[in-house]
Amino acid sequence: MNQAASLIGVRLNGIGWSVCQASRRSQISRDRIARWRNGIGEPPQSFMEWLDALHALHRRYATPLSRDVPAAGNRAPMDAYAVGRALMIIGWSERRLAEHLGYHRTELRRLLESGGRLGARSSRWLEMLENGHRDLPRPAISRVSRRPDMNNGLTMETVR
């Protein structure tokens, strides 16, 4: 297994994504990402830089108690709509958010469905992750498709 393969696994785990979620966010097929993660082929540098940047963002804002999370200020804490929007942008489920906040998934859902809001610090933390994901565009990958050659198992590149 090459170094890029182990880094992809670590980065995806640190972000809280599966290969499928990385595929949705990057618009690279999940098969290609899975092959890169398994050490088959080399991922493009732009993909690795994008994953590194997202992983650094998630390390910087690892929890709502992280030092870099700004003070709440005068913004209202996030309601259910704002939390749902943030989760869609980040690519997390309610379950993943509940784990990070120390809630049970059902407890978090009941809080939001009853019109409740996240705490001020948790709201700022989730907002920082949301803004970071919005500011980091998907990697620029050339439109090259790879298909296995049926005769010898090699990969042929074709440009669309």
Helix-then-strand count for the chain, H and E: 8, 2
Max Cα-Cα span within the chain: 65
Give residue limits of the domains in the chain.
3-159
Sign of the torsion angle spanned by Cα atoms 107, 89, 62, 83: negative
* pLDDT tens over the chain, length 160 residues: 578 888 999 999 999 999 999 999 999 999 999 999 998 989 999 999 999 999 999 999 999 999 998 887 788 899 999 999 999 999 999 999 999 999 999 999 999 999 999 999 999 999 999 999 999 988 887 655 444 433 334 344 444 4
**Which DSSP symbol is given to 63?**
S
Q: Structure pTM?
A: 0.82
- Quickly list H helices, 40-158: 45-60, 80-90, 94-101, 105-113, 120-135
Chain-centre distance of CA 147, in angstroms?
27
